[in-house]
Structure 1
Amino acid sequence: MVIATLAFGIFFGLVSDYQIYYLAQAISLIAVIFDISWFFMGIENFAVTVLRNFIIKILTLVSIFTLVKSKADLTIYILILSLSLLIGNLTLFPSLHKYIGRPRFHDLRIAKHFKPALILFVPQIATQIYVVLNKTMLGSMVSVQASGYFDQSDKIIKMVLAVVTATGTVMLPHVANAFANGHLDKAKEYLYTSFSFITMSSIPMMLGLMAITVKFVPLFFTNKFHGVIPIMMIEALIIILIAWSNAIGMQYLLPTNQTKAYTISVILGAVVNLIANIPLIFFWGTVGAAISTILSELSVTLYQLVSIRHQVSYSKLFDDTYKYLLSGLIMFCIVFSLDRILPNGWFSIIFEVSIGFLTYLALILLFKVKMLTQAKRFLKK
């Protein structure tokens, strides 16, 4: 973080545009230093982080609605987001006293952990490159407005993904524990169950978002953001791809000490994104950036699937996937048709989402997917 902050300081001294916004966002760098949520995830105490996140998100939302009144308040908006990260991270420290005491610095073995930490650090950097690259290249090759359109679409997609990939945070310590105790078969069973659950939940979210995009974008972003519609409809495809790569990478490769395969997959994604961005953005602008994002995520997922080909059964991994996909496509047709007929308004959106949910649920019940049987067994316990 010291190196990153110094690099940011050099960058800040070289640019002349948007300096006040960069400065407001710099608080996020400080916030990262105090991020210890990984500790509570590691000991499987999710209640602390969930409660903290819930309270901070509510306070952030209230602050935005009360303090941000016009586009002139952009600096205030950025400060609210940055400070919410910092305050949220600091609120975790009081809970630490239950688990750790005063540190004994002479007992620390930093050198021992440096190499494995560095190996985990490389994919994080690679991921950040291709996450940020699209917006940066759009800003320089097309316009700042185009970059803004893509960013808004990306935010909604990532919000949906946060729900889908939440299982990764929960499952990682379980798989790591099973692997550490020599229970590799148990670790694989965790992967099969998690992969099926993620597929079951991500397909309706992906297709549902695509179905309501035309009505949702003008309502949520106003009529000035019609340019977001085609981007979001295309980019929604990454929901299933990232969901799958999260299950394989975060929930299996990393906890079973296969960091190399995970690292190569995300570096491959960054390279594909960089190469594809140049011609696709040049010819099709924001739509090209969305297609490039799909190609990069597809390369990550495919590489990870190939890397575990001798360890898992594809038939078990993709068990019932065709049932989820068929249910999702039928749901999409119904919701998309309703979206064309019903008038614009939040009531119509809520109605469409409700119909979509009930349709999908009815269909997977009709198809008797195995995940529902597991869910019933879990609830009984």
Structure 2
Amino acid sequence: MKVVRNYLYNAGYQLLNLIVPFITVPYIARVLGPKGVGINSYTNSIITYFLLLGTLGITVYGNREIAYHRDDIKERSRIFWEIEFLQLITIVIAYALFLGFDFFQTQYKAYFLLQSLWIIAGAFDISWLFMGMEDFKKTVLRNTLVKLISLAAIFLFVKTANDVGVYIFIIGIAQVLGNLTLWPYLPRVIQKPVFKGMNVWRHLGPTTMLFIPQVAAQVYLQLNKTMLGQFDSVIASGYYDYADKLVKMALAVITATGTVMLPHMSNLAAKGDMKRFNNALYKSFSFVSFLAIPLTFGIAAVATTLAPWYYGEQFAIVGRLIIIESPVAILIGWSNVIGLQYLMPLKRVKSYTKSVTYGAIINIVINIPLIVSLGVNGATIATVISESVVTGYQFWVVRHDIRFSRLFVDAWKYFVAAIIMFIVVYLLNCMMVISIGSLTAQIVEGILIYIGVLLVLQASIIVDGLQLLGKKF
């Protein structure tokens, strides 16, 4: 039940992450316009490279290491302080490199400085400690408060197209404050640092191994935006960013599974309980498929009317980009399970690294010709192809270790139900005038059809869910 509770906490927070942009993005799109949105998107994509360098692979590595030793407070404390001091050192180096980069900039110099708040925030990010402890309540509640305050600040202070800097500052300072709010809880779970015998550098190698796949994974998003800004325009970068945002907002509820399951699976692996480990993996994969497959078809069904209504007529092109990118929900969902919930807990980091590195290489190779020939459509296609490579390679790596017949046992049922749902929702979308009411009606109708078809097909996740409810009530 602890895993379920943590998932509900994290999924609830991810829903808030979905709702807040759902409220702010249309407002920002209309106030800042395509150029302002593009400037934010482009400058943030550059800052992300420095943030990745500063945090290395510490978020995932720290999460896993704390999970391995969470029952030993002395060892847990030693590992925490070693990793945190390493993080402070690498952030200082990354920020120094950023200042050197910004010194030579002639365009967007001030915006880059404001975006650098994200790098500063990275120094104080200890969410990995509480995730490793499987204590998601603290991170969720504190970040929720900061998120709501930043939401209010956006509506209060971002009023015109000249407020791009104000918007960037609000988002950046919210990230800093959100990370700082976790520190008061530290004395309850961690002892004071003991500097004698502390070995910060022993973590550099393992975190660097995780840094490589993190950088490669960011290539799909950040490099696409950067290249669009260079080879097309910052406006095209903004279009791509907003299409990606809408897909990723919906995907957040799915990837919440990986965030919760990583420490749980790592702890099972550390105990050598492989029977429970494998059972949890199959259940998690089925659950992710159950969510990701209808999400892909649902987004595609409403995309062409949702985008101009949600973002404004200036962003009508985003609808087509969303349809192209929608399969990413399934691909990332599956790679999230295999990569974060299987390969990482078993310390098969090399295989995980190869998968995202190959995806990044493919992305770089095909990005330029696709952007030059197809513009922003090409960048979106490159994203889908790259994610396909990542997921495909991970499946190939585990082909002798995992029973695919059990992994995909109900997948065909999810696809059948999702396709039927797509047809109905698409027809409704064509007939109805888009509004909050009609969109809600289409979502509810889609969910009912999807669940109804799965009931008829006797999908195991529905049968198990009904049995669980029967026991409760």
Q: Tell me if 1:259 matches 2:349.
A: yes
Structure 1 residue 376: deviation in Å?
4.2
Distance 1:234 1:364 in 2: 26
In structure 2, what is the equivalent of residue 130 of structure 1? 220
What RMSD in Å do the two structures reach over aligned CA positions?
1.3
Count how many residue pairs are aligned between Structure 1 and Structure 2. Answer: 381
Distance 1:163 1:59 in 2: 22
In structure 1, what is the equivalent of residue 58 of structure 2? none
Letter in 1 for 2:280: Y
- Residue 360 (structure 1) aligned to one of 436, 450, 453: 450
Alignment of 1:144-183 (within 5 A): 144-183=234-273
Distance 1:350 1:239 in 2: 21
Distance 1:328 1:363 in 2: 9
Distance 1:374 1:263 in 2: 35
Q: Which moved more, 1:195-204 or 1:99-108?
A: 99-108
In structure 1, what is the equivalent of residue 365 of structure 2? 275
Distance 1:280 1:184 in 2: 44
Distance 2:367 2:185 in 1: 44
Tell me, yes or no, if the aligned pair for 1:215 and 1:349 is still in contact at 8 Å. Answer: no
Tell me, yes or no, if the aligned pair for 1:219 and 1:346 is still in contact at 8 Å. Answer: no
Structure 1 residue 191: deviation in Å?
1.0
In structure 1, what is the equivalent of residue 104 of structure 2? 14
In structure 1, what is the equivalent of residue 297 of structure 2? 207
Distance 1:220 1:63 in 2: 21
Q: Which moved more, 1:55-64 or 1:333-342?
A: 55-64
In structure 1, what is the equivalent of residue 427 of structure 2? 337
In structure 1, what is the equivalent of residue 196 of structure 2? 106
Q: Which moved more, 1:206-215 or 1:111-120?
A: 111-120
Q: Which moved more, 1:146-155 or 1:370-379?
A: 370-379
Letter in 2 for 1:297: E
Letter in 2 for 1:304: Q
Structure 1 residue 378: deviation in Å?
5.1
Q: Which runs of 5+ in 1 are unaligned?
A: none
Q: Tell me if 1:76 matches 2:173.
A: no
Distance 1:58 1:206 in 2: 28
Alignment of 1:174-323 (within 5 A): 174-323=264-413
In structure 1, what is the equivalent of residue 15 of structure 2? none
Tell me, yes or no, if the aligned pair for 1:150 and 1:228 is still in contact at 8 Å. Answer: yes
Tell me, yes or no, if the aligned pair for 2:305 and 2:319 is still in contact at 8 Å. Answer: no
Distance 2:209 2:162 in 1: 43
Q: Deviations over 1:66-112 (max 9, x none)?
A: 22122211111111110111100000001111111211111322233
Q: Deviations over 1:16-37 (max 9, x none)?
A: 1111211111111000110000
- Residue 87 (structure 1) aligned to one of 172, 177, 181: 177
In structure 2, what is the equivalent of residue 348 of structure 1? 438
Q: Tell me if 1:26 matches 2:116.
A: yes
Distance 1:149 1:112 in 2: 43
Structure 1 residue 291: deviation in Å?
0.6
Distance 1:42 1:285 in 2: 42
In structure 1, what is the equivalent of residue 139 of structure 2? 49
SS in 2 for 1:105: coil
In structure 2, what is the equivalent of residue 369 of structure 1? 459
Tell me, yes or no, if the aligned pair for 1:200 and 1:324 is still in contact at 8 Å. Answer: yes
In structure 2, what is the equivalent of residue 36 of structure 1? 126
Distance 1:71 1:362 in 2: 47
Q: Could you state the TM-score of these two structures normalised by the residue count of structure 1?
A: 0.97
Letter in 2 for 1:128: Q
Letter in 2 for 1:98: R
Structure 1 residue 375: deviation in Å?
3.1
Tell me, yes or no, if the aligned pair for 2:219 and 2:363 is still in contact at 8 Å. Answer: no
Letter in 1 for 2:107: D
Structure 1 residue 129: deviation in Å?
2.6
Letter in 2 for 1:300: V
Tell me, yes or no, if the aligned pair for 1:153 and 1:228 is still in contact at 8 Å. Answer: yes
Distance 2:122 2:246 in 1: 23
The alpha-carbon distance between structure 1 residues 244 and 60, as it changes in their structure 2 partners (threshold 3 A), is same
Structure 1 residue 373: deviation in Å?
3.2
Letter in 1 for 2:317: G
Q: Which runs of 5+ in 2 are unaligned?
A: 1-90
Structure 1 residue 113: deviation in Å?
2.3
Q: Could you state the TM-score of these two structures normalised by the residue count of structure 2?
A: 0.78
What percent of counterpart residues are identical? 42
Letter in 1 for 2:279: E
Distance 1:19 1:370 in 2: 55
Letter in 2 for 1:283: S
Letter in 2 for 1:172: L
Tell me, yes or no, if the aligned pair for 1:235 and 1:294 is still in contact at 8 Å. Answer: yes
Letter in 2 for 1:13: F
Q: Deviations over 1:310-335 (max 9, x none)?
A: 11100111110000011001101100
Structure 1 residue 300: deviation in Å?
0.2
Structure 1 residue 363: deviation in Å?
1.3
Distance 1:212 1:61 in 2: 26
Letter in 2 for 1:362: G
